[in-house]
Amino acid sequence: VLAVDLLNPTPQAEARKHKLKMLVPGPRSFFMDVKCPGCFTITTVFSHAQTVVVCAGCSQVLCQPTGGKARLTEGCSFRRNTASMTTTRYTESEWRAMISEVARELEVYEQDYCPDIDKIDIARTIDHTLLKLDATPKQIDELCAEARVANFASVCVRPNYVAQAHANLKGSNVLIASVIGFHKGTQDTYYKLQETRKALTAGAHELDVVINWPLLKQQEYSEIYHELALIRSMAPQPTVLKLIFETSQLASRDIVAACTIASAANFDFVKTSTGFLGHGAKVEHVRLMRAACDHLADKRTDRHRMQVKASGGVRTVEDAITMLKAGAT
């Protein structure tokens, strides 16, 4: 259940107190853009919202839950948000069957994915990252300066430093990435949506979302997809979404499952690890993730081709080349 304006710091207390009290929606649920009759602000509302939703501009009540659905206030107009998706896609048994099929048909190749590695601008594959909790503003400034000089693809910082990084890198080719649910991934969905909105508002172009990997190991696939679909709907393309797996804690089947769910939720990248738990990127995991991404794109016409990010333990040019050859991008 997503009512985007519940994340605004000023909505009415009644809308806020329920946070994300979720009703498991059916396959016909969707998001709609509702126009306020008072100030004409557009608010994204979930069709099965179970809380009062208020306008971000003037705090007028836009809809109230009635009979499991969001009933619009008189005078409000809406249109279906076609850029978003339903938050329930398959049953648990359907998820398990699909993941088993992908795992069974998967072929992991040993050949190099980048035979012409000398022609690649390695700097443009690097996210220059500083995520430690005790990072200082001065260190963020230095990180951004280094990224400008080296022309890295992006800098990756925690949400509280996105605005500073954005100011530092204005006018450059370096993008701003931030992290959601870092580093454990077990925060509740409401918390992750708050972080998502904060990072986007501050100027982030890319979001690295940590999957709830304990739930993944328990095969709670519907709940994971539900969360990722909400984040994707709040951060539609061209925002780049990367899903961090924490591969050191996962079996091969879990990795395949995470790739399958990420693809269904329309994520752009899958990423090996946070770098804060267990080992970092390993060649065998990168190869498996690349094979799964390619398989999902080739076998299912409704899926785009995700890319793979190797993260954790990649500290030298030689390390980077090894990961690029294994299938990272």
Q: Which residue has the higher pLDDT, 55 or 88?
A: 55
- Give the residue carrying structure tokens 């701003």: 176
Length of the chain, in residues: 329
- Look at residues 273, 227, 251 and name the one whose alpha carbon lies nearest to residue 103: 251
Q: For residues 242 and 268, is the Cβ–Cβ distance under 8 A?
A: yes
Choose, from 242, 271, 282, 294, the residue flagged as catalytic. 271
**What pLDDT, in 10s, does the model give residues 147-186?**
999 999 999 999 999 999 999 999 999 999 999 999 999 9
pLDDT above 90 (res 106) = yes
Please report the pLDDT score of residue 68 as a whole number: 62
Choose, from 5, 127, 208, 294, the residue flagged as catalytic. 208
Please report the pLDDT score of residue 1 as a whole number: 33
Give Cβ neighbours of residue 66 (< 8 Å, ≥ 6 apart).
Answer: none
Q: Is 134 a catalytic residue?
A: no
Please report the pLDDT score of residue 299 as a whole number: 84
Q: Is 208 a catalytic residue?
A: yes
- Look at residues 56, 57, 48 and name the one whose alpha carbon lies nearest to residue 16: 56
Q: For residues 153 and 177, is the Cβ–Cβ distance under 8 A?
A: no
Architecture in CATH for domain 4-80: Single Sheet (2.20)
Please report the pLDDT score of residue 81 as a whole number: 57
Q: Is 118 a catalytic residue?
A: no
Output the CA torsion sign for 177, 182, 183, 186: negative
Cite the residue boundaries of each domain of the chain with CATH code 3.20.20.70: 92-326
Q: Looking at domain 92-326, what is its CATH homologous superfamily? A: Aldolase class I (3.20.20.70)
Beta strands at 206-210 and 240-244: parallel, antiparallel or unpaired: parallel
Please report the pLDDT score of residue 80 as a whole number: 64
Cite the residue boundaries of each domain of the chain with CATH code 2.20.25.100: 4-80
Beta-bridged to residue 123, according to DSSP, are: none
Q: What one-character-per-residue DSSP string does 72-132 give?
A: EPTT-EEEE-TTS--S--S-HHHHHHHHHHHHHH-----S-S-TTGGGS-GGGG-EEEE--
Beta-bridged to residue 271, according to DSSP, are: 244, 309
